[in-house]
Amino acid sequence: MTLQPENWQETKKILVVLAHPDDPEFFCGATLARWARAGHQITYALLTCGDKGFNPATSPGMTPEKLCAIRRVEQNNAARVIGARAVHFLDREDGYVVADLNLRRDLVRVIRRETPDILVTCDPQNLFAMYGINHPDHRACGQATLDAVFPAANNVAYFPELLAEGFQPHMPKEVWCSLTNQPNVTIDVTEFWEIKMKAILEHKTQVQDVEKLIERMKSRRTEDSTDEAPRFEEKFRVVRYG
């Protein structure tokens, strides 16, 4: 038996907390597809519905309200392709996410409600992503999520009002940060790359040129790839608790 990088013996409950529709698929969609097909239970919690993800100059008539409704549908379709079971939205405004105490409380509530074994988010320290400046929502989401995990989620002294709502302390066993420049776990996701691409293409409002996107994503193959045998990886900074 080959040792899998996750080393999970039983079925895991996995909660993915990211900022926008399409973040789960772009950041770690192939890994999520791999986990779903291994029988793990995946739920998304997205902070925004990506309502500013359009260019008013080239999309006359589009409004944040209209786009929000469309992107919720797109995200549900993409999640279905990946194999995720549910998508929740926290209804923050796109582009204005701040890692404040209100967001931290909301995320502690989500963690205590969903009681995940594994929590997936993104690395808040990634200021310069591969395409330029990392979106501030990504950084704020990663920061607020890590702050919610530790020390708040598992400590009754934090946000006692959540206890009154019936949410007991809970600690995920592992936190997986995608979109990181300091990875300590690499997953070979070659087998699941096609599913990732199919899910990404469900975000139709975000894909202007399908061919160009497919080419761009192909260029992410590993250096030891050949045209006959391309290989793809997704990398994470993983923190394990006990």
Residues lying near Zn ion in the complex (CB under 5 A): 20, 23
CB of 20 to Zn ion, least distance (A): 4
CB of 209 to Zn ion, least distance (A): 19
* Complex with Zn ion: residue 91 or 191, whichever CB lies closer: 91
Q: How far apart are CA 209 and CA 206, in angstroms?
A: 9
- From residue 45, how far is each of 11, 17, 89 by CA, in Å? 20, 5, 6
* Complex with Zn ion: residue 81 or 141, whichever CB lies closer: 141
* Complex with Zn ion: residue 24 or 116, whichever CB lies closer: 24
* Complex with Zn ion: residue 95 or 183, whichever CB lies closer: 95
CB of 11 to Zn ion, least distance (A): 29
Q: How far apart are CA 193 and CA 218, in angstroms?
A: 9
* Complex with Zn ion: residue 103 or 152, whichever CB lies closer: 103
CB of 18 to Zn ion, least distance (A): 7
Which residue, judged by CB position, is nearest to Zn ion in the bound state? 20
* Complex with Zn ion: residue 23 or 202, whichever CB lies closer: 23
**Hey, what are 71's tokens?**
């992107």
Find, among 110, 102, 67, the residue nearest to 86 by Cα. 110
CB 120 within 8 A of CB 15: yes
Q: How far apart are CA 107 and CA 45, in angstroms?
A: 9
CB of 201 to Zn ion, least distance (A): 16
DSSP codes joined into one string, 71-137 = HHHHHHHHHHHHT--EEEEEEEPTT-----HHHHHHHHHHHHHH--SEEEEE-TT--EETTEEPPHH
**Hey, what are 231's tokens?**
């290989």
Look up residue 172 and give its amino acid.
P
CB of 191 to Zn ion, least distance (A): 25
